[in-house]
A and B are shown apart, each in its own frame.
Chain A
Amino acid sequence: MDSSVVLKEVELAPPAAPKVGRAKINWRTHFQQHWPLYVMLIPAIVSMILFRFYPMWGILFAFKKYSPVAGFAKSPWVGLKNFSRFFSSDYALPILRNTISIAVGKIVVGQIVAILFALFLNEVRSHFFKRTVQTMTTLAHFLSWIIIGGMMVQILSTKGAVNQIVTSFGLEPIRFLSDPAVFPWTLIGLETWKEFGWGAVIYLAALTNINPELYEAAAVDGADRFQRMRHITLPGIKTLIILMSCLSLGGILSAGFEQVLVLYNPVVYKTGDILDTYIYRVGLVGSGGMPDYSLGTAVGLLQGGVGFVLILVSYWLADKFANYRVF
C-alpha cells in the first residue's frame, strides 16, 4: 500500500459525520419510547430555571439607580445612564482591550501548549510514565487561584525562585507582577501552566481514536516519528482543534476573574484590569461602603450580551468548519 495515498486520504477526509436531513418525528411514539430520559431531565431543567432564568429579572437593575434601602420597586428608572456612565469613563476602553487581549492570549497559547503536550505525550511509550505525567499536569487544574496566587506572588517576586534562575544567567530580574508590559504575559503563562494538562485530556482522548494501522503503515513506509505526528496525528485531531477554538470564543470577555484579582495591583491596572475585576470593585465592593449594584449589573449585562453573540458566532463557526451541531 502506498503510504502517500493513505496520508492524502486522511487529510482530505476528516472524520466528520455527514449531514443528514431531519426525519419527521412522531412525538407521541417518541415520548412513549424515551420517557424515562425526559424524566431524568427534569431536575436539570428545574435547576436551570431556578438558578439561571429566574435571577435574570435582576438585569433590570442595570436600568435603575438601585438602592437596597429603597428596594427594587422604589428605585428610580434611569434608562441607559449606567451604560453611558461606563463608556464615558476613561477606563472603559482600556478594560475592554485588556480583557480581550488577555483572553485571546490565554486561548491561543493555552490551545497550542495543550495540543503540543498531547502530541508529545502520545509518543511516550512507557505507560507508567505517561500516566504519572498526565496526573501531575492535571493536578494544578483542581487547585484554586487563591492558593496558587499566594504561592506565585512569592515565586515570581523579584527575589523569588524564578528570578533567582534568571539572575544566575546574569540577566536583570523580570518584574512579573509589577511591570505593566510583562503582567498580561504572566497571567497568560500562569493560566497555561495551570490548565494545559487538563486541556490536553480531550486531545489525548481523541488521539486514541486514530487507527493504529495508519501509524504502522507509515512506519513501514519509512516515516519517522515527526512525520507520523505531522501527517497522521495532527490531521486526526484537526477537527477537534477547530471545534475547541471556536467554542472558546464565547469566553473571550471572561479573562479569569479569580486569577487577576489575586495577582494584580494598582501598578498594573493599566494592562491587567479586566471587566470582571472592574465589576467586582464597582458593583460589589463599591466606595464608601456603598456598592454600585446598577453600574456593576450594567457592565455585567454588557459582558453577557457580547458573550451571547460570540457564542452564536462560535456555534456557527463550529458548524461551518467542524460540522459540529447541537440542534
Chain B
Amino acid sequence: MHSSRLTRRQMLRAGVVASGATLVAACTPNVVKETVEVKQTVVVKEEVEVTSVVEKQVTTVVEKEVVVTATPGPGECEMDWTPTFPEPFKKYDPPVEVNIVLGERYDSLPENGPYNKYNNPMYNRILEHTDVRYMSKWEPAGDPAADSQKLNTAIASGDPPDMWQASGTFLQELIDFGALAEFKEIWEATASPLVKEKKGYPDHYAWKQVLQDGKLYGIPMQSGPADNDDIGFIRQDWLDKVGMKMPETIDDITEVARAWKKAGICEYGIAASKQLVTWMVDLAPVLGAYGHMPGAWVEDGAGGLTYDSLSDGVKQALAQIRSWYAEGLMDPDFITYDPYPGGYQSVSSEKCGIWFSPFWNYNIDLNVNEKIPEFLQVIMPYPKGPEGKQGRWATMSWGAPVIFRAGLDPVVIEALINNLNWQTEFHANWEKYQQYGAFDHDTAFLEGWDWAFDENCEVVIGPYPGTWHCVEFGWNNNPGYPSQQYDIYAPAFKWMNEPDKTKLNKAQRYLVSSKANQRSVEGFNYSYETQAVQIVNQFWGTPGPKMTERLPDLKTLEDTVFLNIIVGNDPIERFDEFVQEWKANGGDDITAEVSAWYRSINS
C-alpha cells in the first residue's frame, strides 16, 4: 500500500543528503564581494513629556561596495596637522573607577578590530588624560522603558550606579529621600571657569532643578536652541518640475502639494507621523504658523500660564491639516507610523516632498541619491499662517542632569568634574587642539579607521568612519552646554567660507569637502538664525501632584481628539468639546498648579 509518510530509511537518506550539501556549501570558497555597513549615527533628543528627554539613535544603514585601490604605502603621505590634547586638570594615581549604565555604545566598534569595550581609542583617551576608568554596571537594554525599569529596581534595592541621569519627579524624589550626593563645595572648588561660564552656573534656569536650599545635587546637561528644533525641507527638483517658487505660506504649501499630486509626481506631498509635535517628521511648524503649539505652557497675560493645546489657533491649524488629509495631500496611513522609520521613509520613498525635521536630517537626499540621483533637498522657510505668523516648537534646552549616588567618594566626584573640565576645554577649543573628530560626534579620527590617504595623499573617508562613540555617557562625548554645537560648527563654517582651500590643512579640507558636513553646518546656521520663531514651553519645573495624576489621561484625550479630527472621524467642532472636557477633567486644577509655580519662580 502506498503511503505518503516518509519511512525512517527515507528520512535518514534525506538527512545524509542535506548534511552533505551543507558540508559542500561550507567548503566552497566565498565569493569576494565585500559589503560594509556604514552606520551614520545621529543622536537626537526626543521630547517625551513635559520634563523628560530621551536620547534616541537613528541609524541609517547604507550598503556600499568598498573599492580597494592602490593606496600609498605607510609613510609615503604625511599628516600636515598635529592633534594634541588639553593638559590634564589633575592626575589620579591609581585612576578612579566609576560604575555607569547608560549610553555605552561600545557596540559600534567595528567587528574584527583590535579593540574592545575597555580598550579603544575613545576609552583610552579618557583614561589617559583624565584618569577616570568607566566600568559598566550592567548592560543597557537600549529601550528607555526597560532601562528605566532596571535602574528603578537597582535604586529600590539600594545598589544604584555611581552616576546616572534623572529629571522631573524622579529627580525630586531622589533628592528628597537623600539618595544623591551633595557636592556644591567640590563643584565650586573644582569646576573650571570655562565650564562655569559655558554652563551658565548658577544663573541659567537649568540649574534651578539641582540647586536647592543652597545645595547642589546634579550637573545639568544643556543643549542649544538650534540643536533639535524643526526646520522645513522641500524637494527642489519637484518644485522645478512644476515650475513653482519656494512656498512661503501655508496656502503656498497647499498649492505646491496639489500641483505635485496633479502632475503625478508623488502620491501625497506633505509628510507627517503619528505625533503632531515630536522629534522628527512632524507638523510643529504648521501649528506654529497659527501662533500656537500643542503641549506648550505659555504665558496667559495675567502672570500665570495656560495650556496652548486649548487655543483657537490650534483649532485652525487642525482644520488646515484636516483639509490636507481630506484632499489626499497627506498619507492616509500617517497615523500608523512613527517618525522613524515610517515618517522618514515617506520622504525617502518619494511619497512626500515637504517635511519638517531638525537640521541633522538635512541629508535624506544624500542617503538616497545613489538610487534617486535627481532627489534634491533644500531648506524651506517657516511657512506663514493667515496672520503672517511663524513658529516652531522649542525643544528643551536641557536634558536630565547628571547625578551621583549618595556616599560616592568625594575624590571620585572631583575626578569626574575634572573630566568635565577637560571635555569642555576639548570641545570649546577643538580647532586649537586639531582634533577633527570633534566635528562628527567626537570620533577618534584615526587613520585607517575614520580616514585614509588617497593616491594624491589627500584625506578621504576611511572604512569605519564615526565608529568611536564608545563611552558616551554624560559629558564623555558631550559636555552638554548650550553653545556646544555652535562651538563645534563655527570653525568648520569659517573653513567652508575660505575661498582658497589650499590654506587649509588636509583634515580641514576633508571635513569641508563632505557634502553631508556642508549640509549640517548650513542647516544648523539656518536653525540658529531663526530662533526668534521659537514657541517656548514655559513650564520646566517638577510636575505637581495634579499634573502627575491627571496629565497622562488628558494627554491621551488630546492625542485621540486631534488625530480623529484630522482623519475626519470627528467633526472640527469636537475641538470645543475637548477644551471643556480637558478643563473639567482636572485640566483647570493643573493650570492652577502650574500657574502658581510660574508666579513663584518669577516673584
List the interface of chain A (C-beta within 8 A of B).
Answer: 67-72, 74, 85, 89-91, 126-128, 131, 153, 157-159, 173, 175, 177-180, 265-267, 269-270, 281-282, 284-292
Q: Decide if B156 touches A71 in the complex (CB within 8 Å).
A: yes
B177 touches A69 (CB 8 A): yes
Within 8 A of A (CB), among B151-197: 152-153, 155-156, 158, 166-170, 173-174, 176-177, 179
- A sample of 23 inter-chain contacts (CB < 8 A) reads A74-B177, A127-B4, A131-B4, A153-B336, A173-B332, A178-B332, A178-B333, A266-B563, A266-B564, A267-B567, A269-B559, A282-B552, A287-B543, A287-B548, A287-B555, A288-B49, A288-B50, A288-B51, A288-B169, A289-B51, A289-B52, A289-B167, A289-B170
* A177 x B560 contact (CB < 8 A): no
| B155 surroundings in chain A (CB, below 8 A) | 68-69
Which of A71, A158, A179, A289 makes the CB contact (< 8 A) with B569? A179
From A286, which residue of chain B is reached at the shortest CB distance? B552
Residues of A within 8 A of B551 (CB): 287
A291/B152 in contact, CB under 8 A? yes
For residue B145, CB closer than 8 A to chain A, the reply is: yes
Asked if B168 contacts A290 (CB within 8 A), the reply is: yes
Chain A's nearest CB lies how many Å from the CB of B60? 19
Within 8 A of A (CB), among B299-328: none
Complex Cα distance, B175 from A67, in Å, reads 13
B541 to chain A, nearest CB (A): 11
Q: A70-B177, A289-B49, A290-B548 are in contact. List 20 more A-B contacts (CB 8 A).
A: A67-B173, A68-B152, A91-B553, A91-B556, A127-B3, A173-B332, A175-B332, A175-B567, A180-B569, A266-B563, A267-B560, A267-B564, A267-B569, A269-B559, A282-B552, A284-B149, A287-B543, A289-B148, A289-B168, A291-B148
**Complex Cα spacing A42 to B50, Å:** 51
- Among residues of B, the one whose C-beta sits closest to the C-beta of A126 is B4
The 8 A-B pairs at the shortest CB distance, nearest first, are namely A68-B152, A289-B52, A266-B559, A158-B332, A69-B173, A68-B156, A128-B4, A288-B49
State which residues 1-40 of B face A: CB under 8 Å.
3-5
Q: Do the beta carbons of A267 and B563 come within 8 Å of each other?
A: yes
Chain A: which residue is nearest B156 at the CB level? A68
Of all chain B residues, the one with the shortest Cβ separation from A72 is B156
Instruction: Using CB atoms, name the residue of chain A closest to B557.
Output: A90
Contacts of B335 in A (CB 8 A): 178, 265-267
B336 pairs with A265, CB closer than 8 A: yes
Partner of B52, one of A91, A267, A270, A288: A288
- B283-300 toward A: CB 8 Å interface, digit per residue (1/0)? 000000000000000000
B 533-562 to A, binary, CB cutoff 8 A, 1 in contact else 0: 000000000010000110111011101101
Bound: A67/B173 CA distance, A: 8
CB distance from A249 to the nearest CB of B (A): 30
How would you classify the secondary structure of chain A's contact residues: helix, strand, loop or mixed? Answer: loop
What is the bound-complex CA distance between A90 and B558, given in angstroms? 13
Give the chain A neighbours of B486 by CB distance below 8 A.
none
In the complex, which of the residues B337, B557, B560, B567 contacts A153, with contact meaning CB atoms closer than 8 Å?
B337
Cα A69 to Cα B267 with chains together (Å): 51
- Chain B residues near A269: list those with CB within 8 A: 556, 559-560
Main secondary structure of the interface of B (DSSP, over half): helix
Which residues from B are CB-within-8-Å of A179?
569
Q: In the complex the two chains form, is B336's CB within 8 Å of A178's CB?
A: yes
With a CB–CB cut-off of 8 A, which chain B residues contact A71? 156, 158
Residues in A whose Cβ lies below 8 Å from that of B267: 159
**Whole-angstrom distance from the CB of A281 to the nearest CB of chain B?**
7
Q: Which chain B residues numbered 252 to 281 have a C-beta less than 8 Å away from chain A? A: 267, 274
Question: Is B48's beta carbon under 8 Å from chain A?
Answer: yes
Minimum CB–CB distance for B151 against chain A, Å: 8
Instruction: Across the interface, name the chain B residue whose C-beta is closest to A70.
Output: B177
Whole-angstrom distance between the alpha carbons of A91 and B333 in the complex? Answer: 25
Check B145 against A284 for contact (C-beta < 8 Å): yes
Chain A residues with CB under 8 Å of B167's CB are: 288-289
Q: Measured between alpha carbons, how far is A270 from B169 in the docked complex, in Å?
A: 29
Which of A70, A91, A153, A173 has the largest count of B CB atoms less than 10 A from its CB? A70
Instruction: Report yes or no: A288 in contact with B556, Cβ–Cβ below 8 A.
Output: no
Residues of the A chain whose Cβ atoms lie less than 8 Å from the Cβ of B563: 265-267
For the complex formed, measure the closest distance between the CB of A13 and the CB atoms of chain B, giving whole angstroms: 35
Q: How far is the CB of B234 from chain A (nearest CB, A)?
A: 23
Nearest Cβ distance between residue B599 and chain A, in whole angstroms?
22
What residues of B have a CB within 8 angstroms of the CB of A291 in the complex?
145, 148-149, 152
- A188–B170 alpha-carbon span in the complex (Å): 39
- Smallest Cβ-Cβ distance to A284: which chain B residue: B145
> B585 interface residue, CB < 8 Å from A?
yes
In the complex, what residues of B have CB within 8 A of residue A284's CB? 145, 149
CB distance from B442 to the nearest CB of A (A): 26
- Complex Cα–Cα for A126 and B274 (A): 49
B168 touches A266 (CB 8 A): no
Instruction: Report the nearest B residue to A157, measured CB to CB.
Output: B333
Question: With the chains together, A211 CA to B564 CA distance in Å?
Answer: 57
Interchain CA distance A69-B177 in the complex, whole Å? 7
**Per-position contact with A for B132-153: 1 when CB-CB < 8 Å, else 0?**
0000000000000100110011
**B residues within 8 A CB of A266?**
274, 335, 556, 559-560, 562-564
